Amino acid sequence: MLRAFFIFLSKANWAQKLIMNWRFAWRVASRFVAGINIVDVINVTRDLNAQGLNVTIDHLGENATTAEDTLSATKEVISLLQAIDKYDVRANVSIKLTQFGLNINTDLCKSNLSKIIECAKKTRNFIRIDMEDSSITQETIDLVNWLKGVYPGVGTVIQSYLYRSEQDVLNLTNDCIPIRMVKGAYQESAQVAFPKKNEVDENFDLLTKICLDKIRQCNEPEISDDGRFPPLIAIASHDDLRISNGIDYANQINLSKKNYEIQMLYGIRRDLQKKYAELGYPVRVYVPYGTHWYPYFMRRLAERPANVWFLVSNLFRN
Ligand SMILES: Cc1cc2nc3c(=O)[nH]c(=O)nc-3n(C[C@H](O)[C@H](O)[C@H](O)COP(=O)(O)OP(=O)(O)OC[C@H]3O[C@@H](n4cnc5c(N)ncnc54)[C@H](O)[C@@H]3O)c2cc1C
């Protein structure tokens, strides 16, 4: 119930205005968001790199409604790729297609993506296409396949809560397209998604195994030395059991630690991030920045009631 409510709030304009004007909300949100601009995010990335953690940077924004907004988001991502290159940090970039016009016009989205890919090629970096709600899963996968034909340094995300994901994993791994495995962060109906947490978890383990089994068939099965190009599978979860089940299976089939990576979100389970990095596993932290932090923040609240109580209890203290 609480999860559904916060995901509903993440799309409500009135709630966005209310919460973004409340100064304390930013203080809580900044636990999950690295700052407002490129300078902020490069500084955070440097700190994480110094702790042995790789990074994927996300310029926050989604569901753009004007072509102008998509163009300025495109410019920002190009500047971000250039900054990663200039400051030589161990980071790649994650993007959401609705920030670049997927909801407006596919050609506009393709044109923006072409500019980003051109810059990724020049700066030798990797672009991860995040997965949004199920209404655009197929379009997202179609565009990932199109991009892969233009530049191999592209991957996407699979959500284990969707029934369709097993087939998507088989198709994507046959083409050696890198996958980030997640449980899924949106509100989906039982028509398209497993309603029970244990089913989502079981499917996560199954899909992770399928990816691990395919690693040796792909040309570049290991994470690149500069920490930018990931292997075929990233196990992206803060659920220690999902990670350890993936590692156990990888050990069973004699994969090395560099054949897969572990990903977690900035500000969540830092203890686990540190633990796996110290054990020698490549760990990548997803670091968002920018002024459009509201929907991302609401999804983080939706995932964990304790975050909401922290916010609410401070509301009454202020
Ligand atoms: C690197 C990365 C990229 C992602 N990209 C996408 C994407 O493109 N599309 C998409 O739909 N989803 C994405 N997600 C989100 C994902 O789908 C889940 O919603 C999120 O990771 C929570 O699920 P979990 O696997 O951590 O397991 P859960 O069972 O939800 O959580 C396990 C434990 O992790 C901790 N935890 C989890 N969430 C929080 C939180 N918000 N605050 C504090 N503690 C928490 C708690 O201790 C909890 O008990 C991404 C997640 C990661 C890690």
- Per-residue pLDDT 10s for the chain (318 aa) are 778 888 888 888 888 888 888 888 888 899 999 999 999 999 999 999 999 999 999 999 999 999 999 999 999 999 999 999 999 999 999 999 999 999 999 999 999 999 999 999 999 999 999 999 999 999 999 999 999 999 999 999 999 999 999 999 999 999 999 999 999 999 999 999 999 999 999 999 999 999 999 999 997 778 899 999 999 999 999 999 999 999 999 999 999 999 999 999 999 999 999 999 999 999 999 999 999 999 999 999 998 878 877 777 766 654
Ligand 1 pocket at CB < 6 A: 130-131, 157, 159, 180, 182-186, 236-239, 263-265, 268-269, 286, 300, 303-304, 307
CB 89 within 8 A of CB 284: no
Pocket of ligand 1, candidates 239, 242, 307: which has the most ligand atoms within 8 Å of its Cβ, to mutate? 239
pLDDT at 316: 60
pLDDT at 3: 85
Pocket of ligand 1, candidates 161, 180, 238, 262: which has the most ligand atoms within 8 Å of its Cβ, to mutate? 238
Tokens at 6, concatenated:
């916060």
Closest Cα to atom 9, ligand 1: which residue? 131
Query: What span, in angstroms and rounded, lies between the C-alpha atoms of 12 and 130?
Result: 21
Closest Cα to atom 41, ligand 1: which residue? 300
Q: Is 299 a catalytic residue?
A: no
pLDDT at 21: 83
- 3-state class (DSSP) for residue 95: strand
Query: What span, in angstroms and rounded, lies between the C-alpha atoms of 67 and 105?
Result: 9
Query: What span, in angstroms and rounded, lies between the C-alpha atoms of 213 and 202?
Result: 17
Q: Residue 86: exposed, middle, or buried by beta-carbon count in 10 A (0-12, 13-18, 19+)?
A: exposed
Closest Cα to atom 38, ligand 1: which residue? 303
Selected catalytic residue, list 90, 180, 284, 300:
180
Q: Is 58 a catalytic residue?
A: no
Query: What span, in angstroms and rounded, lies between the C-alpha atoms of 225 and 309?
Result: 42
Other Cβ atoms closer than 10 A to 34? 26
- Residue labelled with tokens 């072509």: 67
